[in-house]
Each structure stands twice: as C-alpha cells, then as structure tokens.
Amino acid sequence: MKTRFLGEIEVSEIGMGCMAFSHGYGQIPAEEYSIEAIRNAQKHGCTLFDTAEVYSPGLSGIGHNERIVGKALRGVRDEVAIATKLFLGYGFGSVYDKVREHLEDSLERLQTDWVDIYYLHRTGGASVEKVAEAMGRLIDDGLIRGWGLSQVDVDVVRRAHSVTPLSAVQNIYSMVERDSERGVIPYCMENHIGFVPFSPIASGLLSGKITTETKFESYDDVRNWVPQLSKQNIAGNQPIVDLLKDYAAKKNATPAQISLAWMLHKYPNVVPIPGSKNKERIIENLDAAKVELTDAEFASLEESLSRCKVYGHRGFSR
Ligand SMILES: NC(=O)c1ccc[n+]([C@@H]2O[C@H](COP(=O)([O-])OP(=O)(O)OC[C@H]3O[C@@H](n4cnc5c(N)ncnc54)[C@H](OP(=O)(O)O)[C@@H]3O)[C@@H](O)[C@H]2O)c1
C-alpha cells in the first residue's frame, strides 16, 4: 500500500482502528479471531494500528484492546506503527510523571519498548502546554516517536504544537462530520501534521448497510447514541448513502470504499483508521486505497455532497 506521513512517521495510507475488538460496537469476537484479523491486515499492507488504554468491554477495566494489539503485532513490531492514547484524570503532581506512568503500563500491555504515536485522548486534567512539554521529554527518552491530540479545535492544536511539534491530530471526520475542514485540517497541512479521521465510515452509516430497521446491540454499542444513526436521521441521510452507492457502482467499489477514497483524494495528510471486527470488511476497507477517484469524479462528488443536508452532528464534544 502507498504510504503517508504523520509528522516524521511513515504509515500506510489507511490504518486500522482496533477498538471494536474490545469496546463500542456490541459483542466482541473471540481473542484468537481478533488477533488473526489484525495479523491479516498487517500482511495486507496495513502499518498503522490504533488502540487506547481505555478500550475494554463496557469501558470497565483498562487495557483489554492494547493486550490484543500487543499479542497480534509482537512478531512484526519493527514493521508497524502502534498508536495508543491516555486519559490524564485529575489530582496528581508532575504531569511528566503521570503521563510516563500511563505510558509504561501501555508499553507493558503492548509488549513493546516504544509507542509510535502517543495521543492525549481528551484534553483536561492539565494544560495542553504542560502535556506537550511532557510528551517532548518522552520523545527525548526514546519511549515515544511522536505525539498527538484527539477531538480538539485548531486553537488547542496551535498551542500544543508551539511547545512540542505534533505528529498527528485524531478527530472525528467523515462525509457527515466535517468540522475539521474549517480549521484543523488546513492548519495540520501547513504545519506538517498528519490528520487521522476516526469513525470515517460514520459508525457504519456510509457503508450503506444500515437501514431504519437495523437494530443495534443493547450492551456497549455507541451506535445507540451516534447522532446520524437515530431512525429519523438514517432516513434523512439516505441521499448521501445513495450518492455513495451510485459512485460505488460506477467505480466497481463499495460505498465504504468510496467514502474513504474521497478523503484520501481530498487531503494529502489524511490517514483514516476505519474500524471493523470482521476480517473481510477490514480488508475491504484497506483496499479503498486502490480506489482512485479522478479529479473530475471527486469534484462532482463534492458538488453533490454540498447539496445534501446532513442530519445529526457530534462534533468534538464527546
Ligand atoms: N480518538 C477517539 O476518541 C476515537 C473515538 C472512536 C474511535 N476511535 C478510533 O477510530 C477507529 C474507527 O472508529 P469507528 O470504529 O467508530 O468507525 P467506523 O469505521 O466509521 O465505524 C465502524 C462501524 O462500521 C461498520 N463497518 C466498518 N466498515 C464497514 C464496511 N466496509 N461495510 C459495512 N460496515 C462497516 C463496523 O461494523 P463491523 O464491525 O460489523 O464491520 C462498525 O459497526 C476505532 O477503532 C478507534 O481506534 C477513536
């Protein structure tokens, strides 16, 4: 697969979101299945794997997902980039000591001596400047190669980047969540920062497989509150899904692949991390890198999209 840069870190132009093997989309697969799915993705050319310390069933407990990612990738550690994330919490002394404590626990679970991109999962707990300073020290210590922020606006990105240059910003971004286009992505492009869209398929909506009749799971399934996935908003967003289906038919691709190819065409610094707990769909999503939109196709898709109203908005608030 072709590669792109998150700061100085070279990765495949599509990465893999590993969260659903532990949290967020209902029933989790057996561990052996998840490990094999991650290994298959790596063999298929994926070199960026995204996890977080909090990804565990029901968000109770710590590290379920990091342990799976660690087991899956330990044999190919030098060939891949692992990104993980910390929540700082409140009521501690030195920010550096606290961040390092979280990092050391993650390193153990991931069975590695370094993390490629270490994200602050959400701001809060300490000023972003203090966190940036701590991350700079951890880079000097050789424990992380780069650092990032998640769900932030351009002002926070600017403040953090002026203390320790960022490798990546990970925000929600898809055809139906476009806030980052206004400030964050342009700033990242100008400043050699990678932009990593999470939920790039809008939690499944843009695959065209979700209908107003789809029942989500009752336990640990974010789709019950993702704004675009209420019954009413699924119906409202149908024109966007129909547009994707048209392009998919023309390009011999799938709607999910078109939605990923669209963002790859739009910005050179974007590296989406679609998430799936299904081996076939993981490969389908990685193969979106093979779907090339011409400039004319992209322009007409953009134009059609601009005429569709989006129903539901999450933004950076959650
Ligand atoms: N920084 C943050 O705060 C944050 C927040 C959320 C997520 N993330 C990261 O971003 C990654 C991706 O986010 P996400 O999982 O929410 O986003 P997503 O890829 O937009 O949505 C995942 C959902 O879409 C379905 N899906 C994916 N590909 C499909 C395809 N080709 N055809 C049909 N259905 C498909 C999946 O179902 P199946 O599993 O059944 O295929 C799953 O229900 C996560 O794994 C995590 O690493 C970060």
For 196-233, write each residue's pLDDT tens digit: 999 999 999 999 999 999 999 999 999 999 999 999 99
Give me ligand 1 centre to Cα 273, in Å: 8
Compute the distance between CA of residue 157 and CA of residue 163 in angstroms, rounded to an integer. 10
141 is written with which tokens? 């210590």
Closest Cα to atom 17 of ligand 1: 199
Asked if residue 305 is part of any domain, the answer here is: no
Number of domains in the chain: 1
Summarize pLDDT for 145-175 with one digit per residue, the tens: 999 999 999 999 999 999 999 999 999 999 9
Asked if residue 243 is part of any domain, the answer here is: no
Asked if residue 212 is part of any domain, the answer here is: no
pLDDT for residue 13: 98
Give me ligand 1 centre to Cα 282, in Å: 10
Asked if residue 318 is part of any domain, the answer here is: no
Summarize pLDDT for 56-82 with one digit per residue, the tens: 999 999 999 999 999 999 999 999 999
Compute the distance between CA of residue 106 and CA of residue 94 in angstroms, rounded to an integer. 19
Give me ligand 1 centre to Cα 17, in Å: 7
Write down the pTM of the prediction. 0.98
Q: Is the pLDDT of residue 246 over 80?
A: yes
202 Cβ inside 6 Å of ligand 1 = yes
Average per-residue pLDDT in the chain?
97
pLDDT for residue 317: 77
- Catalytic residue status for 55: yes
Mutational test site, ligand 1, from 203, 206, 240, 283, max ligand atoms within 8 Å of CB: 203
312 Cβ inside 6 Å of ligand 1 = no
Q: Is the pLDDT of residue 245 over 90?
A: yes
- Give the CATH number, domain containing residue 197: 3.20.20.100
Q: Exactly one of 55, 247, 267, 311 is catalytic; which is it?
A: 55
- What is the domain extent for residue 135? 3-202+254-293
Asked if residue 135 is part of any domain, the answer here is: yes
Compute the distance between CA of residue 25 and CA of residue 276 in angstroms, rounded to an integer. 9
Of 249, 251, 216, nearest to 230 by C-alpha is 216
17 Cβ inside 6 Å of ligand 1 = yes
Asked if residue 50 is part of any domain, the answer here is: yes
151 Cβ inside 6 Å of ligand 1 = yes
Asked if residue 316 is part of any domain, the answer here is: no
51 is written with which tokens? 């996890």
Asked if residue 312 is part of any domain, the answer here is: no
Angle at 54 between CA 46 and CA 92, to 5 degrees: 125
Compute the distance between CA of residue 242 and CA of residue 252 in angstroms, rounded to an integer. 15
277 Cβ inside 6 Å of ligand 1 = yes
Give me ligand 1 centre to Cα 24, in Å: 9
